[in-house]
Amino acid sequence: MPDFVLTVARFGFLILLWIFVFTVVGVIRRDLFAGTRSSRIVAAPRGVGGAAPAGRPVAKVKRGKAARQLVVTAGQLAGTRITLGEAHITIGRAEDSTLVITDDYASARHARLVPRDGQWFLEDLGSTNGTYLDRAKVSAPTPVPLGVPIRIGRTSLELRT
Amino acid sequence: MPRTHRNAELAMLLFAMALVAVYAATVEATVLETLTPRFWVPTALLTALFVALHMVVRFLAPYADPVLLPAVALLNGIGVAYLRRVDLARAEPDERIDLGLFSGVGGRQLAWTLLSLILAGVLLAVIRDHRIVSRYAYTLGLIGIVLVMLPAVLPASISEVNGAKLWIRFGGFSIQPGEFAKLALVSFFAYYLVRKREVLSLASKRFLGIDFPRGRDLGPIVAVWLFSLLVLVFEKDLGTALLYFGLFIVTLYIATERSSWLIIGLLLFFGGVYLAYVLGASVGGPFRNFYDRAQIWLNPFEGERPFNESYQLVQSLLGLGTGGLFGTGPGGGQPRFIPEVEDDFIFAGLGEEIGLFGLSALLVIYFLVVSRGLRAALAVRDSFGKLVAGGLAFTMGLQVFVIVGGVTGLIPLTGQTTPFLSAGGSSLMANWLLIAMLLRISDAARRPATGAAGGPAAAPGAKQPPAQLHGAATEVIR
Amino acid sequence: MNAPLRRAGIVIMVLFGLLFANLNWVQAYKADEYRTSGFNSRVQVAEYDRQRGVIEAGGEALAESVATNDQLKYRRTYPLKQPYAHVIGYKPVNLGATGIERSENDFLSGESDKLFADRVKDMFTDDDTGGGNVLLTLNRRAQEVAYEQLTKNNGGVDRGAAIAIDPRTGAVQALVSMPSFDPNPLADHATKKAQAAYDELLKAENGPLKNRALSEVLPPGSTFKIVMAAAALENGITKETSIPAGSTYTAPTSGAPIRNAAPSICPESQVTLAEAVRESCNTGFARLGVELGADKLKATAAKFGFGQDAELTVGNLTGGGLPVAASETGAIQGPDGQDDPGALAQSSIGQREVRMTPLQGAMIAAAVANDGKQMQPYLVQRLLGPDRRQIDSASPKVLREPITPQVASDLRDMMKLVVENGTGRNAAINGFQVGGKTGTAQTGVTKNIGWFIGFAIDDKGQPVSAVCVVLEDYGDGGSAEAARIAGRIMRAAAGRGGD
């Protein structure tokens, strides 16, 4: 085998190895930044099949202004995004919550967000320290406008399109 | 519907296998000066195996991280190819051509890969929801202890290899039960810490401005850990002890979020190391071994050492240095000069052939695997999953650091296998089980939760998450 | 739990960063050091992968590599063993190489830039052509005669050296150091055996590894009188000028009287310079030295190379070769550090702190024979590629011109007298004009050292050989025996048979 073939193979291998590395990194990057994919938590609480019709959404309500994401803006999970579907979002320290917040001031089942005709309602689930929409304590299901902070313990969340 | 990236996974997998084929071909062209007509067979078999596992993932964990499998497959494939290359160097000139598919170290590694991938597939099939594991946490904890303890109790004739009592040998086979203990212990730690998390976080004593959890809450974990360490002292294996220590500290830290544990752990560790060094210098006895290792690490080229105690490290460094930036090319190295090249020192052997350029790529791949594991831990929604994934991923990273650091002279050398590269069935199987577990957890993390809860639990015969599990899927609907 | 997980990720990143940094240290910064480290066996294996070139003289291989079945593909052998050992040196697996094996290593191994074309060709054809071949200047007859005569000297002494050079070019015709050794065991692939053989040679009584012809300095005794005579001729004295002599001479400040070797030598108060050389008149040269003064003595000696050649190597004229020890005249001062006529008198007859290598002796004779031009001595005549095409050929260089042609001519005449009818009769060869000078040096520790330096001029008037022979610890008659051996060597070098 002539030496130059070996030399080509030798450097070719190294170059291919790095191309592989960059391919992998590329896949990871697409994974992170392209739209509403994977590493963001795609939300829908479990075991509530009734509330979430398996097929198409009930009605294409106000798609233009409807909230599509729940974003954690402050607290330990800051930066986490949940893509909103047709199902409830439960928030609390319990493991099965849609959004598990590890916050000393949060209760196991703290609050939930429920969609009704394209509008999301915030409901406190009898938490110890209460749920706040902006500065007002939530005592009954309250509609949540886009961009208004929901405060649970040290965590803040808001709805975005 | 989020994309699963399964096709990307398959493409990367094939790319990885192409790389392995290039390596294998170059090796034969360099060592034998010709390409044997069957050079592609091991690579083809590996490809078939990995694609089969890919299919398993496609059906059983469709949302799993797409990077883990190809990245690990590349490492595994390069390992097999390099071990076959070592076989070629060892074989006599006339028997080289007839190196059978499963003969030699490389062939055995290929067979072990086959077995490991089947095991990984089985794990993915049996455990449809990682939380099921927590049901057997105490059993696993017990198994972990037994696995760690077994070689220490057995007579040295069965368990001792190169001075470390880590093995169980029977017939032509030897397994390292400690490799599997890692998985079992992580699961146990994770489960226990999840259950005690609130107590650990809330009921703490304040001392010197740092919050310390109450001792009795940590009792069982510290006991298990101490026990493992004690056993490891008897097994004379510093690296594994270090690994368990790291594992313990990190899961504790992740669970409690108290940096006090990190500080205590690091202080204990470095204090212990320093004490052992000082004692070794003055008192000797059982600490002598550690002192000698530290000396080898500090001055490997001093006096007669390169011929005696630091021979391994020196030859490893010389191999790496000979490789330089671009290496001598696949097959162009001299693996016979590096002791234990198929095992602890495979990274040095590879470094001679693929150079700094190639090794850096391998390091990046290791890092990507570990970071994907941690990413799965971040994304998964239950604490048990977080702790298991985080613990396993971190342990793997730490293991790579310990062995690669040792081989390159960054830290004192302690015997460890290089995950997926080193020859050895136990290590390979255990690490593939680890990857299967990460795949399972990442699947849960990335799965859109509509409908089924945490996996296709609805499938008939699949085990439901246990009812007593803390935070099981019971939702209060008012 | 996410914050600590992220921190764990950062920890891993830092750890891997450390690994990467350290890898750079090992594989980039320290790579060259590790690659060429003495502990790195790869260096040798790579070297032995390619057939090392042949070192040859007169069409005979003196060192060649033969294929083996072991790890190292070729084994170095030295078929002619002892006689050539000090020139060729040896190329062991684990020890340092010496001799031409060392100085021409790059060329022999094929790594030299001169063989770049061959390496490029190798990349495209699948061959691994061997290293280059080195052709030495050695005259095999002269070399073998020198070795045989030296080792079978009539006095039975076992330490000595002989060197013959072509006065016209500086090409070394023979170079022997006694005792010698067989280099083959040192090149054994079993490194333990090689090491044992080396250790044994190192411990051996007479230092067989030492190249006495180039790197040992000894008091030159009366051979130094040629330098003195040159100094005298340069300072207005002719060969017929009478100089003061006498049976004893005591320098003004020194108590120790200088005597002649025998009472019959120059007892008269005046002898001609030529006569003083022929008879080797100690008192005459001691007085001459005191008269000329230390500075003139040192100046002439320096012109011949004394104190000059610490950097000289004998090998390839373009650089590299066997190391040479510097010959010295010493300070020529008294114990108090002042100029001292006693010291000067003793130095003038080649005693006290005057030291000379056999090479220097031969170079003095060569300069005299070659009309005052001292050529740079060399061993490598030609470099041949693996395919035996010529790559390089030595072009002789004038090293120094210590004396004028006239002085050289006068010295030749006087030295011829020494062989015709003086102390060096044993060196005479039929059909040649032979000139020379004997020397007997006292060391005070061992028996006397016998020297002879001389030259041979053929019937066409061409100087064909200049030689220096030294026999250590010989006692009486050492210089006569050295003269005899020198004659044999010169005859062989001139192509007139060794017997």
- The reported pLDDT for the residue numbered C366 is 93
- Residue C473 in any domain: the answer is yes
Instruction: Tell me whether residues A3 and C124 touch, CB distance under 8 A.
Output: yes
- Residue C246 in any domain: the answer is yes
Does residue B33 belong to the interface with chain C, where contact is any CB pair within 8 Å? yes
- The reported pLDDT for the residue numbered B380 is 84
- The reported pLDDT for the residue numbered A54 is 40
- Tally of CA atoms within 13 A in the half-sphere of C82 that contains its CB: 14
Residue of chain B nearest A49, judged by CA positions: B451
If interface means Cβ-Cβ distance under 8 Å, which residues of chain C face chain A? Answer: 1-3, 122-126
Q: Regarding predicted confidence, which is higher, C255 or B252? A: B252
Name every chain B residue with its beta carbon within 8 A of the beta carbon of A90: 475
- Residue C141 in any domain: the answer is no
- Evaluate if residue C479 carries a pLDDT over 60: yes
- The reported pLDDT for the residue numbered B66 is 92
- Residue C453 in any domain: the answer is yes
Residue of chain A nearest B16, judged by CA positions: A20
Alpha-carbon distance B405 to nearest alpha carbon in chain A (angstroms): 22
Q: Is the dihedral of CA C89, C90, C95, C97 positive or negative?
A: positive
The closest of C499, C399, C414 to C238, measured between CA atoms, is C414
Q: What is the DSSP string of C167-220?
A: TTT-BEEEEEEES---SGGGG-SSHHHHHHHHHHHHHSTT-TTS-HHHH--B--
- The reported pLDDT for the residue numbered C497 is 47
Residues C1-15, buried b or exposed e (16+ Cβ, 10 A)?
bbebbebbbebbeeb
Name every chain C residue with its beta carbon within 8 A of the beta carbon of B33: 126
Name every chain B residue with its beta carbon within 8 A of the beta carbon of C4: 253-254, 257
- Write out residues 310-369 of B within 8 Å (CB-CB) of C: 314-315, 317-318, 320-325, 334, 337, 351, 355-356, 359-360, 363, 366-367
- Best mutation site among A3, A32, A40 for testing chain C: the one with the most C CBs within 10 Å? A3
Say which of C23, C40, C126 has its CB closest to residue B318: C40
Mean pLDDT of chain C: 87
Catalytic residue among C109, C112, C180, C222: C222
Active site residue C242: no
Percent residues over pLDDT 70 in chain B: 80
Alpha-carbon distance C180 to nearest alpha carbon in chain A (angstroms): 43
Instruction: Tell me whether residues A13 and B358 touch, CB distance under 8 A.
Output: yes
The answer to whether B60 and B459 have CB atoms below 8 angstroms apart is no
Q: Summarize pLDDT for C413-460 with one digit per residue, the tens.
A: 889 988 888 888 888 888 899 999 998 888 777 788 999 999 999 888
Average pLDDT of the segment spanning B78-98: 76
- Residue C483 in any domain: the answer is yes
Name every chain A residue with its beta carbon within 8 A of the beta carbon of B22: 9, 12-13, 16
- The reported pLDDT for the residue numbered B135 is 86
Q: Regarding predicted confidence, which is higher, B106 or C192? A: B106
Q: Summarize pLDDT for B369-387 with one digit per residue, the tens.
A: 999 999 899 888 788 898 9
Reported as a pLDDT band with limits 50, 70 and 90, residue B366 is very high
- Evaluate if residue B265 carries a pLDDT over 60: yes
Q: Regarding predicted confidence, which is higher, C96 or C394? A: C394
Does residue B213 belong to the interface with chain C, where contact is any CB pair within 8 Å? no
Instruction: Tell me whether residues C2 and A7 touch, CB distance under 8 A.
Output: no
The answer to whether B465 and B138 have CB atoms below 8 angstroms apart is no
Give the DSSP H/E element, type plus range, for residue A30: helix A3-33
Domain count, chain C: 1
Q: Regarding predicted confidence, which is higher, B289 or C181? A: C181
- The reported pLDDT for the residue numbered B471 is 38
- Residue C393 in any domain: the answer is no
- The reported pLDDT for the residue numbered A47 is 39
Say which of B368, B446, B476 has its CB closest to residue A38: B446
- The reported pLDDT for the residue numbered C445 is 75
Q: Summarize pLDDT for C182-203 with one digit per residue, the tens.
A: 999 988 888 778 888 888 998 9
Reported as a pLDDT band with limits 50, 70 and 90, residue B95 is low
Residues 6+ apart with CB under 8 A from A79: A71, A72
Q: Summarize pLDDT for C241-268 with one digit per residue, the tens.
A: 888 888 888 877 766 788 888 888 888 8
Instruction: Tell me whether residues B12 and A37 touch, CB distance under 8 A.
Output: no
The closest of C406, C488, C424, C430 to C277, measured between CA atoms, is C424
Average pLDDT of the segment spanning B399-417: 88
Name every chain A residue with its beta carbon within 8 A of the beta carbon of B367: none
- Chain B: touching chains (3 or more CB pairs < 8 Å): A, C
- Write out residues 153-212 of B within 8 Å (CB-CB) of C: none
CATH classification at residue C271: 3.40.710.10
Residues 6+ apart with CB under 8 A from B95: none
Distance CA A63, CA A88 (A): 18
- Total-model pTM: 0.63
The answer to whether C275 and C301 have CB atoms below 8 angstroms apart is no
The closest of C424, C371, C415 to C273, measured between CA atoms, is C415
Q: Summarize pLDDT for A101-117 with one digit per residue, the tens.
A: 877 788 888 888 888 87
- Chain A: touching chains (3 or more CB pairs < 8 Å): B, C
- The reported pLDDT for the residue numbered B255 is 83
- Evaluate if residue B211 carries a pLDDT over 90: no
- Residue C107 in any domain: the answer is no
Distance CA A105, CA A110 (A): 10
- Evaluate if residue C75 carries a pLDDT over 80: yes
Q: Summarize pLDDT for B301-332 with one digit per residue, the tens.
A: 887 777 777 888 898 999 999 888 888 889 88
Residue of chain A nearest B18, judged by CA positions: A16
Say which of A13, A25, A97 has its CB closest to residue B330: A13
Percent residues over pLDDT 70 in chain C: 97
A:C CB pairs within 8 Å: 19
- Evaluate if residue B94 carries a pLDDT over 80: no
Q: Summarize pLDDT for A24-76 with one digit per residue, the tens.
A: 998 888 776 543 333 444 444 443 333 334 444 433 444 446 777 788 888 77
Other CB atoms within 10 A of residue C406 CB = 12
Distance CA C75, CA C55 (A): 14
- The reported pLDDT for the residue numbered C236 is 85
Does residue B248 belong to the interface with chain C, where contact is any CB pair within 8 Å? no
Owning domain of residue C441 = 216-380+398-493
Residue of chain B nearest A98, judged by CA positions: B381
Q: Regarding predicted confidence, which is higher, C498 or B186? A: B186
Residue of chain C nearest B377, judged by CA positions: C5
Q: Summarize pLDDT for B416-471 with one digit per residue, the tens.
A: 889 999 988 888 999 999 999 999 999 988 877 553 333 333 334 434 444 344 43
Instruction: Tell me whether residues A100 and B451 touch, CB distance under 8 A.
Output: no
Burial of B379: CB neighbours in 10 Å, binned 0-12, 13-18, 19+: buried
Other CB atoms within 10 A of residue C431 CB = 11
Reported as a pLDDT band with limits 50, 70 and 90, residue C45 is confident
- Evaluate if residue C406 carries a pLDDT over 60: yes
- Evaluate if residue B288 carries a pLDDT over 80: no
- Residue C104 in any domain: the answer is no
